[in-house]
Structure 1
Amino acid sequence: MKNSLTLLTILLIFSCGKNKTKTTETELTSSQETVTYKGTASITQGIASTIAENIYTCERGRKTDIGEITSTDGKKWTVPSLTNYTNTDFPFAPDLFNSCEGKNYATSEEALSDYDDSKIIEIDENGALFTAYIFADNYFEMFVNGIPVGKDKVPFTEFNASIVKFKAKKPFTIAMKLVDWEEHLGVGCEPNRGKSFHAGDGGMVAVIKDDQNNIIATTNEGWKAQTFYTAPVTDLDCVSEDGTYRYSQNCNTDGGQDGSSFYALHWELPNYWMKTNFDDANWPNATTYTNQTIGVDNKPAYTNFTSIFDNSENDAKFIWSTNVVLDNEVIVRYTIK
């Protein structure tokens, strides 16, 4: 780490009310300046150590590594996220489109014709059959009522899309971990557009259909979305919090040629966030984004299936937290009644 950080003071302030939030006032000293951060996140600075290389390889894909970094309060963080990708008990979602593995389906009918029904996950005995169509930039893990039903085969690129089939009884709750992967571990960056450290962006869209091919749910602002990892942050004064709302819209997203001084904010995921009875009432609603903002108009993993994602009567929206560029690990939740 190029600039060392010294933790001088930590002040814990507990707020009143049903949901108590720990606020930390941290004064950090680098070789250049002293900065003060007021918020609930743990802070890291600089590049993480690589602990796993190339967990997935694709001929034209970006390098998919995992890293670890220690924050100023002594906690260790896995970046870009602690996932179930290498957990063999968590099923991979079958392909809607996956050029890395030659699954270049032109239509959903073509993809479904190759679907192996043994991949259907049973949530409830005698439950109805539902099909989820998902495009995630970059990675997702999906739970229904706390049960794993599918994870993304391609953590980073090339861009792919997935099908998840499951049997459940209404109401049921969908919970998903979404990850915007990174090549420069710990600072949310990748080489792009002439910059060595360019901030990536996220985005996820999903459509859920019943066994009669009717759309019963789409991603929109009715979903809940909370961020747990924000980077790169060049100035800690740009971030703020209001209750459970975590804002970084005022932060610079220009990136640069050297990210060794960039900060990152980390929040611990709550226990049982994927369970039906988890209380997300105070979480922010998801923010929606256009196809143009996410940049999918030239990606066949999306454009081959616009009849599903951009249905003229029930258009699904890309969702994320309040900052689709800087927020790299996001949990979304929605209950279908």
Structure 2
Amino acid sequence: MKNTRTFLLGTVCCFTLSACYDDNSQSQPQTNPNEFVLSSSQMVDGGNLPITYTCDGDSVSPPLSWSGAPQDTKSYALIIDHNSPDGVHWYWTLYNINADTTQIKSAETVGQTGSNSVNDLNAYAAPCSKGPGSKTYTYTVYALSASVDFNDKTKIDRATLLAAIKDITLDSAEMNVSYTQSSESAAPLNNDQKSSMTSKIAANVDSPRCELIKGSVDKAGFEQSVAVTCDENYAYIASSTYPDHELMTGITGTNEQIPVPAKGFAAPIKLAPKKAQAITTIDAAVGVAVNGVPIYDYSSQGELDVNNYDAKHDTLVLGQLDNCGGHAGRGDDYHYHVSPTCMIDTMKNPTSAAIIGWAYDGYPLYGNQNPDGSTIKTGELDVCNGQADDTYGYRYQTSVTPPYIIQCLVGEVDTSKLPRVAPLSGDTQKIRADLRPPRGGVENLTYTVAEDGSRTMTYSYQGEEYYTTYSGSAEDDSCYDFKQKTISNGGKVQAGTFCRDAQPSDPKPRDLKQREPKPAVNEHKSMTISEPNLTITGEHKLKLEAWADNWFAAYIGEELLIEDSVSITTERSFNAESIAFSADYPIQLNLILKDFKQNDSGLEYIGARNQQMGDGGFILQITDTDTNKVVAVSNNSWKCEVLHRAPLDKSCEGESNPIAGEGACTFMSKEAPANWLQSNFDDSSWPNATEHSVASVGPKDGYDEINWDENAQLIWGEDLETDNTLICRTTIEQPS
């Protein structure tokens, strides 16, 4: 395979007017028209990558053009990559570009798109390497003798594409550009801060293992922001958990948490590690990186079944991680779930021989390669993502495939000693207590630090802008003044003062602006949800209890009684609701039931690995609190009409580019009858609700909090997956 590079003309001679150039553009290399050459109007081979095309700028792809391709070229492929100490990172994978295409405009996509290594999405990812020194990015275009044919289920990453085009590559052309990224540095610790972090730790004890752990921090260059102190049994790696690299960029599945320093965090690392009889999994941090940031396993929820990879809870797959492998958790604390690539880029010793972290059992963590630089072969790593080590007895590794990082601990560990970063205190109104990833993900999430030290995270969702911002509070060094507008809380602008340690003197958050509630409507805007009518009164006192996957609204006749408090656009929006009310028999109970769908295709997580049909489920009971008897339950006597059903062909779920209304992704949608809420509406033609088992619905998050009557049944339409929106009716007669 011939490999031709463009070259930078070292000296520009301007003998004619046509040889001169505009001051606002870079000089272009002189090329042989018979050579295959890749070039750009905005950069040159051997030159600099403009900030616009990086994560520090607009994060768009640069304009590219090529010429001199072999005459028999039938298609092109394009790859952008970077050879990092922890392995190759790739940012754009294009293939099956038409043979008559010779350029790509900025922010344009041509041909078909494979994955990138930043967020594993089939899209362009802007280069985002941190750390001192220049990083080189290679743009390569391949002229191919044929198009590339992949199976629909094949994941097209860099390696897969290179393997597929190996024998059909006629020629290739490269362009190498460099970029040095600026960094918003975390403040170094002063002596008082270091002393505070280790104040609860016994007097420092010298030991070879202690010095080794200290040395791993110092050699990496983090000694100014991380303190290491040892007692007889542990080395304590103390920090604020706030790293010196970019944060949050690249996240789509945000939980709306924001990184807040956790001063005083100290991770205990055993000085005398010993293999345990059984592995340990932890629903919290399993170790700490050498920059003081905690390390978690890959999962977003609960303890792992280490023998069975779970893509539905893979934080990387779900788009919950930033370009650096981390995010802010429930405690507004920053931590890693996969290889900390940006931290590695900032290290003074970013080589395969460098220790990048320590597990709580005392064994070290290395990068994607063996310490000697050799490749780790498939199958060499055990279930905890580690292997035997001649120096330490055992070592953990990071990997580009699941489980990515430490999955479990092989050594003995006292879990009672392990620290957790507690959520911010003072949130008496719970404005940050139940933040959740919105369905379908957000766009354009950015995190910035202003000159005054305030920190802001902004993002857009369904055409509206949201944000969280905070700054240090005058109340206490560990307190922060927050202002936020979140999706989880319905777009209200709220504020409060929250603390890591001390309680603020006035912890009550404040609604800064009363937001008028938006009516919830069906697909054709005919089913308006009113505000709850508190005048629903009658002789009998009752209590309604319900659980929904994902959302419901209940009416007594035409008056709204209760609407699910968790928005349907919220990730994992299934929860229990209850309300006390009074009414007179007979009671006409009407309900709207919805399962989340990203669009009319009926799918969720479109474009992600876990693209799928959702599944619904609903259960209800009403108790007469005067007699303490259940007077109504959900069952197959209810009448339910499906208003939206999708997809009509379930093979839509497996399509790489599902488009609502096309092919297998067709749908049925209709309006609700205008008078369906009225007591005299004739629902005799509606089908009965279908009862479904607990096993098929899989209820969670609040379902077990209610003591369900034995006759209450989980109901839905006939198909849990494709019946997306239903309206249901039942009449509750006065019990005898």
TM-score by length of 1: 0.58
| C-alpha distance 131-325 of structure 1, shift in aligned 2 (>3 A) | same
| C-alpha distance 149-288 of structure 1, shift in aligned 2 (>3 A) | same
The farther-off stretch of 193-202 and 268-277 is 193-202
Alpha-carbon distance in 2 for matches of 1:142, 1:287: 19
Cα shift readout 1:69-102 (whole Å, capped 9, x = no counterpart)? xxxxxxxxx76674889x6x513xxxxxxxxxxx
Secondary structure in structure 2 of the residue aligned to 1:153: coil
Secondary structure in structure 1 of the residue aligned to 2:592: strand
| C-alpha distance 128-331 of structure 1, shift in aligned 2 (>3 A) | same
Secondary structure in structure 1 of the residue aligned to 2:605: strand
- Give the counterpart of 1:325 among 718, 721, 733: 721
Checking the alignment, whether the CA contact within 8 Å between 2:526 and 2:671 is kept in structure 1 is no
Percentage of matched positions with identical amino acids: 27
Q: Is there any run of 5+ residues in structure 1 with no aligned partner, and where?
A: 1-53, 68-77, 92-119, 235-250
Q: Where do residues 88-107 of structure 1 align in structure 2 (5 Å cutoff)? A: 89-91=530-532
Residue 291 of structure 1 and its aligned partner are, at CA, apart by: 1.0
1:267 equivalent in alignment to 2:670: yes
Letter of the 2:545 partner, please give it. Answer: Y
Partner of 2:563: 151
Partner of 1:285: 688
Alpha-carbon distance in 2 for matches of 1:203, 1:277: 27
Letter of the 1:214 partner, please give it. Answer: K
Secondary structure in structure 2 of the residue aligned to 1:293: helix
Alpha-carbon distance in 2 for matches of 1:165, 1:151: 13
Partner of 1:62: 438
Residue 289 of structure 1 and its aligned partner are, at CA, apart by: 0.5
Checking the alignment, whether the CA contact within 8 Å between 1:80 and 1:180 is kept in structure 2 is no
Partner of 1:258: 657
| C-alpha distance 164-286 of structure 1, shift in aligned 2 (>3 A) | same
Structure having the larger proportion of residues in strand: 1
Partner of 1:172: 587
Runs of 4+ in 1 over 6 A off after TM superposition: 64-67
Partner of 1:161: 576
Letter of the 1:186 partner, please give it. Answer: D
Alpha-carbon distance in 1 for matches of 2:561, 2:690: 24
- Give the counterpart of 1:224 among 639, 644, 647: 639
- Give the counterpart of 1:197 among 611, 629, 649: 611
| C-alpha distance 136-256 of structure 1, shift in aligned 2 (>3 A) | same
Partner of 2:623: 209
Alpha-carbon distance in 2 for matches of 1:270, 1:158: 27
Secondary structure in structure 1 of the residue aligned to 2:647: strand
- Give the counterpart of 2:703 among 294, 302, 311: 302
Secondary structure in structure 2 of the residue aligned to 1:228: strand
Cα shift readout 1:45-89 (whole Å, capped 9, x = no counterpart)? xxxxxxxxx9x976333337779xxxxxxxxxx76674889x6x5
Higher-Rg member (1/2): 2
Letter of the 2:623 partner, please give it. Answer: K
Alpha-carbon distance in 2 for matches of 1:131, 1:292: 27
Secondary structure in structure 1 of the residue aligned to 2:695: helix
Residue 323 of structure 1 and its aligned partner are, at CA, apart by: 1.6
Alpha-carbon distance in 1 for matches of 2:688, 2:676: 15
Specify which structure has the bigger relative contact order, considering alpha-carbon pairs within 8 angstroms and separated by 6 or more residues: 1
Q: CA RMSD in A?
A: 3.0
Checking the alignment, whether the CA contact within 8 Å between 1:122 and 1:167 is kept in structure 2 is no
Residue 252 of structure 1 and its aligned partner are, at CA, apart by: 4.8
Residue 177 of structure 1 and its aligned partner are, at CA, apart by: 0.7
Alpha-carbon distance in 2 for matches of 1:253, 1:152: 29
Residue 204 of structure 1 and its aligned partner are, at CA, apart by: 0.7
Residue 194 of structure 1 and its aligned partner are, at CA, apart by: 6.8
Alpha-carbon distance in 2 for matches of 1:66, 1:166: 35
Partner of 2:602: 188
Residue 182 of structure 1 and its aligned partner are, at CA, apart by: 1.9
Letter of the 1:188 partner, please give it. Answer: G
Residue 181 of structure 1 and its aligned partner are, at CA, apart by: 1.5
Partner of 2:536: 123
Partner of 1:336: 732
| C-alpha distance 66-281 of structure 1, shift in aligned 2 (>3 A) | farther
Partner of 2:544: 132
Checking the alignment, whether the CA contact within 8 Å between 1:84 and 1:90 is kept in structure 2 is no
Residue 121 of structure 1 and its aligned partner are, at CA, apart by: 3.7
Secondary structure in structure 1 of the residue aligned to 2:562: strand
Alpha-carbon distance in 1 for matches of 2:611, 2:657: 6
Residue 315 of structure 1 and its aligned partner are, at CA, apart by: 3.0
Letter of the 1:275 partner, please give it. Answer: Q
Secondary structure in structure 1 of the residue aligned to 2:667: strand
Alpha-carbon distance in 2 for matches of 1:145, 1:180: 23
Alpha-carbon distance in 2 for matches of 1:177, 1:79: 9
Alpha-carbon distance in 1 for matches of 2:526, 2:576: 18
Checking the alignment, whether the CA contact within 8 Å between 2:526 and 2:674 is kept in structure 1 is no
Secondary structure in structure 1 of the residue aligned to 2:646: strand
| C-alpha distance 194-303 of structure 1, shift in aligned 2 (>3 A) | farther
Residue 269 of structure 1 and its aligned partner are, at CA, apart by: 0.8
Residue 200 of structure 1 and its aligned partner are, at CA, apart by: 0.6
Alpha-carbon distance in 2 for matches of 1:332, 1:252: 28
Alpha-carbon distance in 1 for matches of 2:713, 2:678: 24
Residue 130 of structure 1 and its aligned partner are, at CA, apart by: 1.0
Cα shift readout 1:18-49 (whole Å, capped 9, x = no counterpart)? xxxxxxxxxxxxxxxxxxxxxxxxxxxxxxxx
Residue 283 of structure 1 and its aligned partner are, at CA, apart by: 0.8
Q: Is there any run of 5+ residues in structure 2 with no aligned partner, and where?
A: 1-252, 257-433, 441-460, 464-520
Checking the alignment, whether the CA contact within 8 Å between 1:197 and 1:259 is kept in structure 2 is no
Q: Where do residues 20-31 of structure 1 align in structure 2 (5 Å cutoff)? A: none
Alpha-carbon distance in 1 for matches of 2:606, 2:698: 14
Cα shift readout 1:128-158 (whole Å, capped 9, x = no counterpart)? 1111101011111111122111111112334
| C-alpha distance 82-293 of structure 1, shift in aligned 2 (>3 A) | farther
Checking the alignment, whether the CA contact within 8 Å between 2:576 and 2:701 is kept in structure 1 is no
| C-alpha distance 199-163 of structure 1, shift in aligned 2 (>3 A) | same
Alpha-carbon distance in 1 for matches of 2:654, 2:523: 17
Alpha-carbon distance in 2 for matches of 1:182, 1:146: 26
Alpha-carbon distance in 2 for matches of 1:66, 1:220: 36
- Give the length in aligned residue pairs: 218
